Structure formats: structure tokens, C-alpha cells
Amino acid sequence: PELNLSDLAFLQYTGGTTGVSKGAMLSHGNMVGNLEQVSGCLDKVLNRGTEVVVTALPLYHIFALTANCLTFMKYGGLNLLITNPRDMPGFVKELSKTKFTAITGVNTLFNGLLNTPGFDELDFSHLKMSLGGGMAVQRPVAEKWQKVTGSKLMEGYGLTECAPLVTISPYDLESYNGSIGLPAPNTDIKLMLENGEEAAKGEPGELCVKGPQVMLGYYKRPDATAECLQDGWFATGDIATYDDEGFFYVVDRKKDMIIVSGFNVFPNEIEEVVAMHDGVLEVAAVGIPHDVSGEQVKVFVVKKDPSLTEKDIINHCRDNLTNYKVPKLVEFRDELPKTNVGKILRRALKD
């Protein structure tokens, strides 16, 4: 068959973290364009024919499909497939046999490895690229990763609808700065307010993307396509800010925002603070309906320290958060519900 850039390459289904999964129609042009954009960001880091990337995410997910499978094929690299990353001791054992040069993953994966005995004894001398995406990378995780491995944890931001790369941390950034980086080559970004105006520097607005990587639309969902795709601009549903140097910071998902007595509270901020407590392994924050304040903050915590109490969490939050952001409820769980990629499913906890 004759193919051109506008022909359909993938029906790539979204993660469904905020609703029903939809089929993003990604064209050959979207995929080729995004691979060129990735190369523009990584050509100074990766060499042809010598790279070994650790692939612990399923290859049917857009992150691993583009960042691991297609990108490292383009560089003539080797993918080391980890078929069951939940078996952390087995994962670490596999890593001990390989001189890996790159690893991609979500925050929960990096956090899990850092908390697995033997990981800190691995040989990281060949590791030159660690890339986090799929969900917010938490500062405590990024800082510990750099300390243990000697490799900076770069954060990238993307979506299924953008094939996926939109922004990425520059490879020569000294250390983790909390941002999702700078726009990929040939990518335009604007932050929009509810009133249709563009957000000013430092002001939170919905992140909108325009570029060769933006999908054709949702498969057989013209209604859903029209809601988020207009004049080539894709409205992501993520709230972000930008700074003087052009770095973007995702504040949170629009649909996950908690409104306490009229104040906007972003779960990512709560989760990052709670994760800084030494006794916490994993955390998720959600809004629970409340008669007086509209919503109140509830956190679900997996303990690292068995002696950790509800009071410990709340006191720690009082020391680090404005009063209305402090969780009113704490529930301890043995584990948190996750997608097959390892993203924590706040929606399942809320339901």
C-alpha cells in the first residue's frame, strides 16, 4: 500500500486515568515527527549502536512505544525487557547482569527500585540517561535517584494524544529542578485561562500544545475531539505554569483538582510533601465531599515505617503546607491501585 504522513499508523488508547479510555488516532506523520523531535533532544546524549535501555513499561503504552522501542531502534540500541517489574528483587537481579546506559519509567518504578535491597550496590558507571514520565516525578525520589545512581532523573512530559513527547528536561541540567523541562523542537505551548485569555508567567493555566506530534483526533469520537482539539491546538487537561527561563511546571490534572472552601488544592503538591516523610513509601491525595468546605483533602498512604501514625502525617503536613491544604483524613493501605504502567489511580480511590 502507498502510505503518506497523514495516514493512520496507530489507534493508541489513552490510559483512562480520568475517564473512559479513548483511541487517539496517531498518523505516520505524528510518529515520524515525534521521533525526530526526540532525536533533537537526545542526539548529544545517545550514541548509535551502543545503547542498552531498560524497558520495564509495557511496549503497548505510548511512553515505552516511542521512548524505548522506536527511539532505541532508531539509534540501533538494545531494549532489555523487564516483563514483571512488580517483582522488584527479580528486577534488580536482572539489572545486575547488564551494563545498561538508559532507563525510563514512572515515579513509582524509580521509588520502588530505590527501596529494594541491593539496588544501591549495582554498577551505574554506564548509566547516562534516566527519564521519568507518565506521572509527576517527586522531588524526594529524583534527589535520591541522583545520589544513588549518579544519574540525573530527567523529567519528560507527554500524552498519548501527542505521540507522546511535548517537553523534556535538558540533558545538561545540573540537577532536578521540579520542571517538566522545555518544549520539544517545533512544539508550541500556551497556557489558557478559563476566560479564554493566555496565562501570565507564574499563573496556572491549561497547557495547550501545537506541533507535528498532535493526533488527528479520537477514533469515532467527534464529540470528544471537538472538546479538546481546535485549530491544531490540543488542550491537554493539565494545569501548568512557566518561569523566566521558559521551563514548564505541571501543577496537576484539571479533573483531579480539589476545591476546599473555594481554594484550589492540587494533589501533586500534597503528595510531594507527604512523600518527603521518611516513613512513607507511596501516597495519593484526593478530594472527598464535605458539607461545609465543599471538599476536604484525604491521603492514602503505604507505610515504609510500620510505626507511622495518622498524627505523624498530619503534623508533617502542618509544618510544610498552608492550613487549608493539610489533609483532614489519612487512610493506610497495603498498596495503592495503579494502571498497568504504574500510575497511581486517584479515581479508583475516590470511587
Q: What is the pLDDT, as a whole number, of residue 3? A: 94
Q: What is the pLDDT, as a whole number, of residue 19? A: 67
* pLDDT higher than 80, residue 279: yes
In the chain, the largest separation of any two C-alpha atoms, in whole Å, equals 65
Considering the domain 257-350 in this protein, what is its CATH number?
A: 3.30.300.30
Q: Which CATH architecture has domain 8-253?
A: 3-Layer(aba) Sandwich (3.40)
Q: What is the pLDDT, as a whole number, of residue 340? A: 85
Q: What is the pLDDT, as a whole number, of residue 175? A: 87
* pLDDT higher than 70, residue 17: no
- List the single range of 59-63, 114-118, 275-279 with lowest mean pLDDT: 59-63
Mean pLDDT value of segment 281-300: 94
* pLDDT higher than 90, residue 202: yes
Decide: 247 and 182 in contact? Cβ < 8 Å: yes
What is the C-alpha separation between 89 and 70, in angstroms, rounded?
28
Mean pLDDT value of segment 238-242: 96
Confidence of residue 135 (pLDDT cuts 50, 70, 90): confident
* pLDDT higher than 70, residue 16: no
Mean pLDDT value of segment 113-131: 97
Name every residue whose Cβ is closer than 8 Å to that of residue 344 and which is 6 or more positions away in sequence: 108, 135, 282, 284, 336, 337, 338
Name the strand (E) or helix (H) holding 218: strand 217-218
Name residue 302's beta-bridge partners. 282
Kindly list the domain boundaries of the chain, sorted by start residue.
Answer: 8-253, 257-350
Q: What is the pLDDT, as a whole number, of residue 262? A: 81
What is the C-alpha separation between 261 and 169, in angstroms, rounded?
35
Q: pTM here? A: 0.86
pLDDT digits (tens, 9 = 90+) for 143-199: 999 999 999 999 999 999 999 999 999 988 888 899 999 999 999 999 999 999 999
**Percent of the residues in the chain that have a pLDDT greater than 90, as a whole number:** 85
Mean pLDDT value of segment 265-275: 93
The terminus-to-terminus CA distance of the chain in angstroms comes to 47
Q: Are both 8-253 and 257-350 of the same fold? A: no
- 266 or 312, which is more confident? 312
* pLDDT higher than 90, residue 261: no
* pLDDT higher than 70, residue 18: no
